[in-house]
Amino acid sequence: MRDPASRFYQQVEVLRARVRTLAGTSTGHALDIGCKKGDVSSALAKTMRCVTALDPYPHPDWQVLQETHSNLNFVQGDGQNLPFSDASFERVVACECLMYMDPDRTLKECHRVLKPDGLLVVTFPEAGPITQAIDPYNLERLFINVILPGRVSHRQKAHHLKSSTLLDAASDNGWQLEHMERRGSILFIYLAWWIDRLQIRHLPEDSPLRHLAAQVTLPVLKLLFFAMRMDCTLRFGPLSYNTIIVLKKSNT
C-alpha cells in the first residue's frame, strides 16, 4: 500500500501537478529522469502512452508501480549518460534532480534522446545565499557531518541550482526557452522536510506499531499537505523558492 505522502505527491501536490500539466498529454513516450520512488512517473503514466522512469538508485516501490501501470517501466541508470537511442522520447521530465548532476552534460543527453520539437520540463529549488544557508536538509547534513564526519555523500551535499546556470547551459546545447515560472517560499522545503521525517518506512508494513504510528501522524501530515499546497500556489517573484522551466528541442 502506498504511503500518504506518495499519494499526495502523485495526485494533488501543486509543483508536480504543474509538471504534469506542462508536459501535457502525449500519445508518445516520456522519460522521467531522477524518478526516485516513482511518484511523478506514475502520475505521468496516466496521461502519457508510455513512461520510462530512470534513477541510479532502485527503490522497492518500483515493482509495485510497474504492476499497477502497464505502460510504466523503471530503469536503473545515470541521467548524465542515458542508456537510450537518439530521438527516443517526446517528453523528458527532470523533477528536483538536476542540482545533483552536471547541468551541461545532462541537458546534452536530454537533447540527444528527445525527438525534434520535444519538451523538457525541469523543476528545482532556486539557489541563493539565504535559501542555501537555512535549508533544513543542508542544516541536517551539516549536523550529521559534525557528529559523524564523512557520512554525507557528494550527491547529498547539493540541493539548489541557479536558473541562470541552467539557462546558460540550455542556450549552449540547442534549446529554446518555452516557459519559466517560480512558485512558493522557503516554507515549502521545511514542509517537505517534516513530511519526510514523519514517514514510518523503517517499520514493516504489517507491523501493528507502524499502523499505530500512521494513525497518530496522519492528521499532522494532512495539515502539512494543505500548507504545502497553499504555499506553492503563491508567487513571490525573485524571492520564490521553486523554479519550473520548460525547454523545447531546437531543430537547428
Go through the chain and tell me how many residues it has. Answer: 252
Would residue 118 count as lying in a domain?
yes
Domain, as residue range, for 22:
4-126+161-186+235-249
- Is 130 exposed, middle or buried (CB count within 10 Å of its CB: 0-12, 13-18, 19+)? exposed
Does residue 12 surpass a pLDDT of 90? no
- The rounded distance, in Å, linking the Cα atoms of 48 and 229 is 24
Predicted pLDDT at 122: 96
Does 221 reside within a domain? no
184-218 pLDDT, tens per residue? 998 998 998 898 888 776 666 677 777 777 788 88
Here the cell at position 156 is 547529498
The total number of structural domains that make up the chain: 1
Residue 143 in domain: no
pLDDT digits (tens, 9 = 90+) for 100-145: 899 999 999 999 999 999 999 999 998 877 777 788 887 887 777 6
Residue 203, domain member (yes or no): no
Say which residue the cell 520564490 belongs to.
Answer: 240
Q: In what side-by-side order are the strands of the sheet with 72-76?
A: 72-76, 48-55, 26-33, 89-95, 114-125, 242-249, 175-183
**64, part of any domain:** yes
For residue 103, being part of any structural domain is answered with yes
Inside any domain, residue 133: no
Give me the pLDDT at residue 151, please. 58
Helices (H), 48-148: 61-68, 103-113, 129-134, 136-147
CATH number at residue 168: 3.40.50.150
Domain membership of residue 16 (yes or no) is yes
